[in-house]
Structure 1
Amino acid sequence: MQPSSPFTTLLATDLVAFGAQYRDIATQVQVRHNMYARVIEALTFAGVSWPHCHHEDRGDGTFIVTPPEAHPAVFLDPMLNHLSAAVGRHNRCVGPPGRMRLRVAVHHGPVHYDGYGVTGPDTLLLFRLLEAPRFKRKVHASGSELAAIVSDTLYTNAFDRNTLINPAAYRATRLTHKETRRVRAWLWFPPQ
């Protein structure tokens, strides 16, 4: 195994109800294409170079490791806000099968590369946040087109830098999923 990377921002997305019966394979392909286009657009808007990111496809989502020089604050604002606007704009232009809802998890920490990709405790934490049942329930209940769960590490690093991020947009929560127990994280939903 190669040594761990410096601290970097990790991002994971998941398309809610991607495998729903009302979506045929052609629609799934189109929804995936549109998800990638919106994510790349939002990262670019935030000043993060997609070609410099490590990214892995997850079938109904993505896993992205950004360059270490990308400051964690840009993932809270402007990236999440821009992604929300891009998904909303997309959904207004397509019929129900082509609409997307996204769950997003964002974390900041080192990753480890091996011959198969990326691994390590921070990678696991990112996916435990994304897949936490409590987060999924909150997203389902909200009906929101986009929702994010932000690790306490990223949230703290972002706000320690005297940014213009609105802390009122985030709600503290505790999540448990598999071996991750009562970890503190922050929920974000787009402003109404």
Structure 2
Amino acid sequence: MRDSDTAYKGADDGRGDHGEVRGDVLATPDLVAVDGVVPKGGAQPVHDRIGGVSLGRPLVYALQNPAHRRATADADREFLVCFPFDLEELPDGRRYEQVTLTVHLADGMHALSLDPAPGTVAADGTEISVFGLGRQRLRWTFRAPGRGGALRPDGRWAQAVVRMPASSTDVSGRVSLSTTTVQPVLGGALRRRAAQTPYDTPFRIRAVEVWTAVTPLTHPGVFPGAWALATYVDEMPESGEREPDDDRLPPGLRRLCLAVDIEKYSARDNADMVWLQRVLLRALRAACERVGVVWEHCGRQAQGDGYLLVLEPDVDETRVVPGLLAGLAAGLAAANKRSVGANSIAGKESSGGNLASVRMRASLHQGIVHEADSGYAGSAVVALFRVLDSDPVRRILAESPDTDLVAAFSDTLYQDLVDTGYEGLSAVGFQKVEIEIAAKNFTAVAWVRAMRSASEG
């Protein structure tokens, strides 16, 4: 074992003063060459930095196993644990040939299933070998296809169904990573370098931070996390218990709502879906931070390929709305720039209409919203999603290949913000569209505009 405790203290790991995880990044350690130089005289070895890795905060979902639905307090529990990570892009024609993710689960835990499974070959030809079924130590190795192949550095993941004893209070363990990189040299030869993270990164997900799965895990190969994402679960009372008789209407507050949806999400493979969800969350959180909106104070509801954000009452809409949209556009532009660079290194072609691009629709509306038992309720939320999913909004995004984001304003929000000429909300570029969904008896007017990041003008 490496001395993880000593090495960890000085690491840029995204943790606070008390070790708690912040955001969706667990740690960002360097990848140090295994063949580093050892000086004479007993001095410390020279650490040759090959690259870096961003280890995502593990996503943990409590499984609803029908056989254990009424399990007693001393019964073991099962969790789906997903480990996402992004590798740093390499310069000078270097590429990743092999990557190994190793997970050491805490004492008493072991893996019931692993995904990707042993012997998996991904759609792009990546070969994956797996070790650790029924064990505490898990390992996934990803190998690039063929002699000249390269592994895409971002959007990688591995997951396991883990059994945990009832005595444990959290899902915890350690994560490390190693790589083999290749660099062309004179004469057509290849120089290979092995590297690894210099310490094991600990993780601990407390019970209060665990998502609850809305459906049982009935078959392997389910793409990570999205099937389990839910903020609420409809739990039936135990036998002999009665649900509390409370038919009072939850408070209704006027809230600004933002909904986003990823274009062509279902056409992606599993790895892309993980990457897209990560891009979506990072872009939303960064956009909120940009305008001083506290993420934890917002109502949030995951939709798999989309997200609902219900902002705090009484936010300054004249400042927050343009800031959120500018932040989202900038986040998408940055993610797509990284994706194009990664595809270029791997020798893949990319274009504006390629699935490599992350493109989104956004819808904004304000109105009375109730925080109900299974999500956010109110005619404002219904109208928000009807506009977001409407044919005119989808068509405008499809007809705007030079942008990553189109935003649809409800008519009332447009009149309040855009018609009055607030800074950052020029009426130039908006299209007025009539939306009619006969099957839902829904009609509305919306104003749609293709958004661009500041760097695009």
TM-score (norm 1): 0.89
Q: For residue 451 of structure 2, give the secondary structure of its aligned residue in structure 1.
A: coil
Residue 179 of structure 1 pairs with residue 441 of structure 2 = yes
Q: For residue 288 of structure 2, give the secondary structure of its aligned residue in structure 1.
A: helix
Instruction: Note the alpha carbon deviations across 1:70-121, whole angstroms, 9 max, x for none.
Output: 2222343122122112211110111455531011001011112221111111
| Alpha-carbon distance in 2 for matches of 1:105, 1:162 | 20
**Map of 2:327 onto structure 1:** 82
Residue 42 of structure 1 pairs with residue 300 of structure 2 = no
User: Which has the greater radius of gyration?
Assistant: 2
| Alpha-carbon distance in 2 for matches of 1:40, 1:155 | 24
| Alpha-carbon distance in 2 for matches of 1:75, 1:175 | 26
**Map of 1:7 onto structure 2:** 254
1:32 maps to which of 277, 281, 285: 277
| Alpha-carbon distance in 2 for matches of 1:81, 1:108 | 19
Bigger CA drift: 76-85 or 92-101? 92-101
Counterparts in 2 of 1:134 and 1:93: CA distance versus 1, 3 Å: same
**Map of 2:263 onto structure 1:** 16
Residue 163 of structure 1 pairs with residue 422 of structure 2 = yes
Instruction: Note the alpha carbon deviations across 1:118-174, whole angstroms, 9 max, x for none.
Output: 111111000011011111111111123111111112222324776212122422222
| Alpha-carbon distance in 2 for matches of 1:64, 1:47 | 15
| Alpha-carbon distance in 2 for matches of 1:4, 1:176 | 30
| Alpha-carbon distance in 2 for matches of 1:176, 1:63 | 22
Counterparts in 2 of 1:162 and 1:148: CA distance versus 1, 3 Å: closer
TM-score (norm 2): 0.39
Counterparts in 2 of 1:190 and 1:162: CA distance versus 1, 3 Å: closer
Bigger CA drift: 80-89 or 123-132? 80-89
Higher strand share: 2
| Alpha-carbon distance in 1 for matches of 2:422, 2:414 | 11
Bigger CA drift: 141-150 or 67-76? 67-76
Bigger CA drift: 145-154 or 74-83? 74-83
Residue 106 of structure 1 pairs with residue 364 of structure 2 = yes
**Kept in 2: contact 1:31–1:99 (CA 8 A):** no
Structure ranking higher on relative contact order (CA contacts 8 Å, 6+ apart): 1
1:141 maps to which of 389, 399, 409: 399
| Alpha-carbon distance in 2 for matches of 1:148, 1:161 | 18
Q: For residue 189 of structure 1, give the secondary structure of its aligned residue in structure 2.
A: strand
Q: What letter matches 2:296 in structure 1?
A: P
- Structure 2 gap ranges (5+): 1-247, 344-349
How many residue pairs get matched? 189
Q: What letter matches 1:170 in structure 2?
A: F
Higher helix share: 1
Counterparts in 2 of 1:168 and 1:62: CA distance versus 1, 3 Å: same
- Structure 1 gap ranges (5+): none
**1:113-152 counterparts in 2 under 5 A?**
113-143=371-401, 144-152=403-411
Runs ≥4 residues deviating over 4 A: 159-162
**Kept in 1: contact 2:301–2:309 (CA 8 A):** yes
Fraction of identical pairs, as percent: 26
**Kept in 1: contact 2:299–2:311 (CA 8 A):** yes
Question: RMSD of the TM alignment (CA)?
Answer: 2.0
**Map of 1:51 onto structure 2:** 296
